[in-house]
Chains A and B, each alone.
Chain A
Amino acid sequence: MIYCLAHHIISPLGDGSQANFEAVRAGKTGLRYYANRFVSVEPFCASLFTEPQAFVPLCIHSAEQAIKETNIVPSDENVVLVLSTTKGDNLDLLSPAQQIAEHFGNRNKPIVVSNACTSGVCAHITAQRLLESGIYQHAIVIGCDLQTRFIVSGFQAFKALSDEPCLPFSPERKGLNLGEAAATIIWSTDKQGDWRLAAGSIHNDANHISAPSRTAEGAFRCLRDVMQGVQPEDIELVGVHGTATPYNDAMEQVAIERAGLAHATISALKPYFGHTMGAAGVLETIICMLTAKKQFIKMLSGFGGVNAAIRLKCE
């Protein structure tokens, strides 16, 4: 069992978890229409920082704000840094993690989780395993991605973007919006804080590299695993991926029904933050912690047929 000691979000909606949560509650959105942001790229709708941010300083800022709320010493050898990102700092994923670790004087080699859109949830699971096995005592999990010409052009070539604010789980949905953010959760074996990470699971659909299983084979198995030992009615909230692409949301609906969770409240946060890629599993888990009272599941799915889910419980 690992415990959430502190967390932090920085996004176009604000600096700090509480500021972001309140912006969501007030119905604010970071989504804007961009006509000429990147050369040759068609106009798109996304949640981007007003001032362009640099990857490493943004991650350091988020981690610093979270660490401040705890007693952990980031340079201690019982602390590991786990970075969740898909494109890192201009396609380099390891160097930024090393620079962040160096900034905090942490001499353990950082771990970068790059499992497509599930990376953030997978990073929590990796942290849980490394902490529960006693290898480390605390993990600083940072999720971050910034939008570039590279990413936006690719999603446009996939015809996956909506040029209007996205509509997760709506019959009218027609695609996703991308987003920028950095978010941090500090996990620990110390029994502190309200929320603990009870279970995590990762499964592949074994179906197609870019299209989810219509019968939700991977996502259903993730839900099944993390619900071992709990009743479906104990789960009050399911934080879905909810990209608002036709196939993703249909697949998640099937997974939720197969797992007996149709009663639970659905939390789909992309209309506020866009799809923040490597940050999504960290940022959205934090918003779920601030929303739920007792117990929730956060799930994600991504390219490569991979699905991941975690269950968090409030003590």
Chain B
Amino acid sequence: MRITHEIEITPTAVILDGQTLTQTETGEKMLIGLYRQHANDYPKFFKMDTLCRLGFIATELLLQAEGAERFVPTEDRAVILANRNASIKNDKDYLKTISEQDYYPSPALFVYTLPNIVTGEIAIRNKYMGETAFYILDTPDQLMPIVETTLNTPYSTLNSAIAGWCDCSDANTFYAKIQIIWKN
């Protein structure tokens, strides 16, 4: 396996391929700031929960660093993400809409109560028809054998993956470390 690009996002810092991108905001505001500065052409971003925003913006920056032509339909790239806390931040937001006193369940929140939606958002944005998968793991190192065996599946169409850790427990507590990994 060959790693060509890597991004790390914490609530206060963004490091792309070893270079720190200076941020003025922190937490979710920082993610919105990154979107405005580096994408700003996908209003659906504002409908996403924090986990999806984190994965989306991390992928945007990775793909801009890669510099290949964007938005070409392909099935040779997988999106394989993992975390510890599933969709807990958004699950809690949804729970607020179904209190017994004030029961108006929000469909727009419910749709994000699955952690794999972030992989779907990335696939939709980039027209990736390859594999998308989400795992809940204790530690990020557990994902590597999964990514390696995914890319090496004999009859698969995959050559590369956007893969890594994408975890969010509330609007100001999140961590992503995502890479572009090639089969060989």
Show the binding face of A for B, using Cβ within 8 Å: 39-40, 86-88, 91-94, 97-98, 109, 111-116, 122, 126, 129-130, 132-133, 135, 149-150, 153-154, 156-158, 199-210, 217-218, 221, 225, 228, 302-306
B37 proximal to A (CB < 8 A): no
Complex contacts, B134 vs chain A, CB 8 Å? 113-115
Complex contacts, A130 vs chain B, CB 8 Å? 145-146, 149
Complex contacts, A303 vs chain B, CB 8 Å? 111, 114, 116-117, 120
Q: Name which of B5-13, B58-66, B87-95 contacts chain A.
A: B87-95
Q: Are A40 and B98 in contact (CB under 8 A)?
A: yes
**Complex: how many Å from CA A217 to CA B127?**
11
Q: Are B131 and A202 in contact (CB under 8 A)?
A: yes
A109 touching B138 in the complex, CB below 8 Å, given contacts A203-B130, A206-B129: yes
B contact residues, range:
35 or more
**Complex: how many Å from CA A171 to CA B84?**
42
Q: Are A93 and B136 in contact (CB under 8 A)?
A: yes
Given B95, B110, B124, B137, which contacts A111 in the complex, CB threshold below 8 Å? B137
A94 touching B146 in the complex, CB below 8 Å, given contacts A221-B75, A304-B120: no
Complex contacts, A210 vs chain B, CB 8 Å? 111
Q: Which residue of chain B has its CB nearest to the CB of A97?
A: B136
Given B128, B136, B138, B156, which contacts A204 in the complex, CB threshold below 8 Å? B128
A205 touching B110 in the complex, CB below 8 Å, given contacts A157-B105, A303-B117: no
Interface mask (B141-160 → A, CB under 8 Å = 1, otherwise 0):
01001101110110111000
Q: Are B133 and A122 in contact (CB under 8 A)?
A: yes
**Complex: how many Å from CA A235 to CA B157?**
22
Q: Are B103 and A199 in contact (CB under 8 A)?
A: no
B176 proximal to A (CB < 8 A): no
**Complex: how many Å from CA A116 to CA B113?**
10
Complex contacts, B133 vs chain A, CB 8 Å? 113, 115, 122, 126, 202, 306
**Complex: how many Å from CA A133 to CA B127?**
30
Show the binding face of B for A, using Cβ within 8 Å: 73, 75, 79, 84, 86, 88, 91, 94-95, 98, 100, 103, 105-107, 110-111, 113-117, 119-121, 123-124, 126-139, 142, 145-146, 148-150, 152-153, 155-157
Complex contacts, B128 vs chain A, CB 8 Å? 204, 206
**24 interchain pairs (CB within 8 A)?**
A87-B113, A94-B138, A111-B146, A112-B137, A113-B134, A115-B116, A115-B133, A115-B134, A116-B116, A129-B149, A130-B146, A149-B98, A153-B103, A154-B110, A157-B106, A203-B75, A206-B73, A206-B124, A209-B117, A217-B129, A303-B120, A304-B120, A305-B132, A306-B133
Complex contacts, B91 vs chain A, CB 8 Å? 91, 150
**Complex: how many Å from CA A209 to CA B73?**
17
A129 touching B150 in the complex, CB below 8 Å, given contacts A112-B135, A204-B131, A218-B129: yes
